[in-house]
Amino acid sequence: MMDRAKNLILAVAPRRLVTPCGFVWAALALCLLYAVCHGLGWREYTGFLCGSAPLGERAALCLVPGIVYVVAYLGFVLVAPILVLASGIFALLVRPRRWDRPPREVAGD
Amino acid sequence: MNTMSEPIFTARKPAASLRKRLILGAVSLVAATAVWLPCVHFVFRPPLPAATHESEVEPLAGRLIAEQLHLWTDAESRQRELAKMRVTNAEWDFMGRTFLVLALANQGLRHPEQKGACLEVMDRIIDETLRTEQERGMYHFLMPYARQRPFVVQPPRSLFLDGEIALMLASRRLVAEKQAYRGPFRRRVEEMVWRMEAGPVLCAESYPDECWMFCNSVALAAVRIGDHLDGSDHAAFFHRWLERAKEKLVDPGTGLLVSSFSLNGRPKDGPEGSSIWMTAHCLQLIDEEFAADQYRRARNELGRELLGFGYAREWPVSWEGAIDVDSGPVLPGLGISPGSSGLAFLGARAFDDRTYFRRLQTSLDFAAFPHERAGRLKYCASNQVGDAVLLYAAVLGPLWDEVRRTPAEAARP
């Protein structure tokens, strides 16, 4: 069961994303998403958080931009900085270490 | 230019296997989360406390007041905001007026140069509210279930309206006497006291056979200000009310006053955050010690802090309540209630709990989506009544201080 789960993760994991650089790209994508939502003025639709109902016949549709905005905002302020920090840590972890390098050839050998 | 196709460092070392990268990536994410989450609040925390609490909240108050005044001068914006609130709860339309009048009264007392402008808006709000009540009746400001059965005490009146209208009139008269309001205020106070005296627990109905601690404590505050203004004396009534409340209306588990109960004192809802913070604030005018005790208990049972952010629960852990229009949508797990958290500002400020106030402010800037335009500030995740509560919390002080001054202090120039 565990093996099957592991294999599934390995199969679906986007190879290019699971790199320090991939984390930075993901963070940039989240920032871009937030910038678009903010630029569209969807902040105004977040009133549902206090229980205020949107108005009009298409009231339910007004919830969508509000929810998307909240998700994008959380992505921007919580997830994106974590991804940037993680990319740095990740880069340090995958950095070639001294003992990983091939031994230097000694002159005269 | 091939950054996405190959992992970095591949020039120096062959790429780690996907399995290894997944593990290292997960470890990195966990470590980064452990670093970032405790730091987020630094981004949203208001500037370090100034020399006094007043100067700390002054900029916030100025920008909030500008938006609230804009809503009362721009008819289109106001109609849109009122319509939005009334769809959910007609009470918010009314309460937004009360909190704005209270805020303006404090602002007028604190800044005498603004008194004239504040009084003008206060009068406009009060006159419009009285006219609406007269033309459309009390049900205009009540939720629909008020019509489902008759009030126990006849003829029907709601202490929700009487208490807050009396408090608006009292606040206005305290800033500057207005003869036209004296009669209506006195009549409303007499009516409220008569109805409260008629109830077995000295409380009156806000809805049919439904008394609210919020409304009754607001009414008590209005009566107390009336004593200060007109020289009447309801001290004996206040004493009896407190005795009865401590005996019949306190939740034994938490020691907090319950939020709603039948006319004969049978509790309906237990202690609620959307009620207790304002209740404790109003009781400051009746019994300072009991009010402070209620605040301490509310802070302990409902006030929470997490990673530098402050918030409030609607119900104590020991009580299970239903999500309703007062609590607002409650975040599962943590139990964060927007209704209780908003009113917690008021409690924290009234009882000078600066640390909690600052942490609540941090949460506000993080999660309430402030929007500033032309020097006017509103919170997009809030509404007019929510912003009016925040404004009142930011400026409260002088109004209650004026009432608490002894006659000897008041006589001093």
Of B9, B36, B369, the CB nearest to A85: B36
Instruction: Give the span between the Cα atoms of B386 and B378, in whole angstroms.
Output: 10
pLDDT higher than 90, residue B52 = no
Q: Does A83 touch chain B (CB under 8 A)?
A: yes
Helices (H) and strands (E) in chain A, counts: 4, 0
Where is average pLDDT lowest: B184-188, B261-265, B405-409? B405-409
pLDDT higher than 50, residue B168 = yes
Query: Which of helix, strand or coil describes residue B12?
Result: coil
For the record, the structure tokens of B202 come out as 């000295």
Of B19, B37, B381, the CB nearest to A46: B381
pLDDT higher than 90, residue B5 = no
Residue B73: is it exposed, middle or buried by C-beta count within 10 angstroms (0-12/13-18/19+)? exposed
Contact predicate B10/A93, CB 8 Å: no
Size of interface A-B (CB pairs under 8 A): 129
Q: Which of residues 24-63 of B touch A (CB under 8 A)?
A: 24-25, 27-29, 31-33, 35-37, 40, 43
What is the distance, to the nearest Å, from the Cα of residue B12 to the centroid of all Cα atoms in its chain? Answer: 61
| pLDDT at residue B1 in the model | 41
pLDDT higher than 50, residue B275 = yes
| pLDDT at residue B412 in the model | 60
Mean pLDDT computed over every residue of chain A: 81
| pLDDT at residue B11 in the model | 42
pLDDT in tens, B143-154: 999 999 999 999
| pLDDT at residue B3 in the model | 44
Stretch B43-57: mean pLDDT: 68
Contact predicate B365/B46, CB 8 Å: yes
Q: Where are the domains of chain B?
A: 48-300+384-411
| pLDDT at residue B6 in the model | 47
Contacts of B338 in chain A (CB under 8 A): 49-51
Interface-testing mutation among B2, B17, B18, B28, with chain A (most A C-beta atoms within 10 A): B28
pLDDT in tens, B281-325: 999 999 999 999 999 999 999 999 999 999 999 999 887 777 777
| pLDDT at residue B291 in the model | 97
Residue B407: pLDDT band (50, 70, 90) is: low
Q: Which fold has domain B48-300+384-411?
A: Glycosyltransferase (1.50.10)
Of B36, B85, B380, the CB nearest to A44: B380
How much of chain B exceeds pLDDT 70, in percent?
92
Q: Where are the domains of chain A?
A: 30-95
Q: Does residue B79 or residue B14 have the better pLDDT?
A: B79
Please judge whether A19 and B5 are an interchain contact, meaning their C-beta atoms are less than 8 angstroms apart: no
Interacting residues of B227 by C-beta distance below 8 A, sequence separation 6+: B233, B234, B235
Please judge whether B27 and A78 are an interchain contact, meaning their C-beta atoms are less than 8 angstroms apart: no
pLDDT in tens, B192-229: 999 999 999 999 999 999 999 999 999 999 999 999 99
Reference A25, options A36, A14, A9; nearest CA is A14
User: Nearest residue on chain A to B329, judged by CA atoms?
Assistant: A51
Please judge whether B28 and A77 are an interchain contact, meaning their C-beta atoms are less than 8 angstroms apart: no
pLDDT in tens, A29-67: 999 999 999 999 999 889 888 877 665 556 677 788 999
Q: Does residue B330 or residue A15 have the better pLDDT?
A: B330
For the record, the structure tokens of B314 come out as 């609607």
| pLDDT at residue B88 in the model | 79
Contacts of B12 in chain A (CB under 8 A): 96
Mean pLDDT computed over every residue of chain B: 90
**A26/chain B closest Cα distance in angstroms:** 11
Q: Does residue B412 or residue B122 have the better pLDDT?
A: B122
Instruction: Give the span between the Cα atoms of B76 and A25, in whole angstroms.
Output: 44
| pLDDT at residue B227 in the model | 96
**A59/chain B closest Cα distance in angstroms:** 11
Contacts of A55 in chain B (CB under 8 A): 80, 83-84, 87
Q: Does A40 touch chain B (CB under 8 A)?
A: no
Of A16, A23, A77, the CB nearest to B40: A77
pLDDT in tens, B356-391: 999 999 999 999 999 998 889 999 999 899 999 999
| pLDDT at residue B77 in the model | 84
Contacts of A94 in chain B (CB under 8 A): 7, 9, 16, 21, 24
